[in-house]
Amino acid sequence: MNAPWTLERVRALRERVERERSESYFIEGVRFVVAASDAGARFRCLVLSHKLLRSPLGQMLARRLRARGIPALVVSPAEFRELSQVDEPQGLGAVVASDWRPLPGDGPSPEDCWLLLSEIRAPGNLGTLMRTAAASGARGLIVLGSPTVDPLHPGAVRASMGALYSLTLVRTTFRELVLWRRRFRPAFIGATPEGSQDYRAVSYRRPVVLVLGSERKGLDAAQRALCNARVRIPMVTGDSLNLAIAGSLLLYEVWRQRCRSPIREPSALGAP
């Protein structure tokens, strides 16, 4: 773990197995490094290409982080481009320590809303969901050690637009989750086209865990067994919504019901 970070080791972080082994992941872009720094993330190493790093904010941030003793791997523009997943790399990246947590031992807070995910094929969908989760004030993600849900995948991190750092990432086992549920009794609400209730007809006023299935197969048997209620999002046509869309509609419905200042009745618009 204390071996210096080389270009090759950073590149290897594209693979989940290497992220697991080193308990690290790679982020890039000034916006992301700022978000990580603001959130107090543990930096293992900066990755810098001085020629590409033109942003004054990015330059200042790099100096500040180096002054705090964080090592830097300085690479050429070509090397940085090869690491990067964006069209116009900004020349600033970082290897950050993964920050997985256990389920909160004192149970969920009254206002908690968690997302429980068992399988997501598209990392971009996961990142988009994380972005909406943070925007709607959700507490975080619960992942069941499944290799198919990884919020630290480069595509998920990028699509989260920094929201990663507003969420708590919990990794646990099914057994632990069942015990936690029995002890603290939050509402587990599963989303599925076969749900018996409209998602807007269920109360989310106590702590809630939203359970989302996979894009293709929906809720699996283990997920269904956890749910207190299964809800559907009504549709005029089609048989399902994109997973990130479905999750986002649920997240905003939870928030809507909890808003202290209720939304006034819609007012008519003036004539155009």
Interface positions with a copy of itself (CB under 8 A):
124, 128, 131-132, 134-137, 159, 161-163, 166, 181-182, 185, 187-188, 198, 200-206, 228-229, 233-238, 240-242, 244-245, 248-249, 252, 255-257, 263-264, 266-272
Q: How far is the CB of 21 from a copy of itself (least distance, A)?
A: 27
Contact 91, 51 (CB under 8 A): yes
Contact 73, 16 (CB under 8 A): no
Q: How far is the CB of 69 from a copy of itself (least distance, A)?
A: 29
Q: How far is the CB of 159 from a copy of itself (least distance, A)?
A: 8
Beta pairing partners, 179: none
Query: Toward a copy of itself, which CB reaches closer, 55 or 136?
Result: 136
User: Nearest Cα to 32, choosing from 140, 161, 153, 123?
Assistant: 161
Query: Toward a copy of itself, which CB reaches closer, 45 or 134?
Result: 134
DSSP state of 87: S
User: Nearest Cα to 133, choosing from 106, 110, 166?
Assistant: 166
* Coil, strand or helix at 175: helix
Q: How far is the CB of 270 from a copy of itself (least distance, A)?
A: 7
Q: How far is the CB of 271 from a copy of itself (least distance, A)?
A: 7
Beta strand 43-48 pairing with 92-97: antiparallel
Q: How far is the CB of 17 from a copy of itself (least distance, A)?
A: 21
User: Nearest Cα to 103, choosing from 116, 90, 85?
Assistant: 116
Beta pairing partners, 140: 114, 168
Query: Toward a copy of itself, which CB reaches closer, 67 or 268?
Result: 268
Give Cα separations from 111 to 8, 192, 204, 248 (angstroms): 43, 24, 9, 17
Query: Toward a copy of itself, which CB reaches closer, 75 or 129?
Result: 129
Contact 113, 138 (CB under 8 A): yes
Query: Toward a copy of itself, which CB reaches closer, 26 or 204?
Result: 204
Query: Toward a copy of itself, which CB reaches closer, 18 or 55?
Result: 55
Q: How far is the CB of 41 from a copy of itself (least distance, A)?
A: 16
Beta pairing partners, 117: 143, 212
Angle between helices 123-135 and 243-258 (to 10 degrees): 10
Query: Toward a copy of itself, which CB reaches closer, 157 or 233?
Result: 233
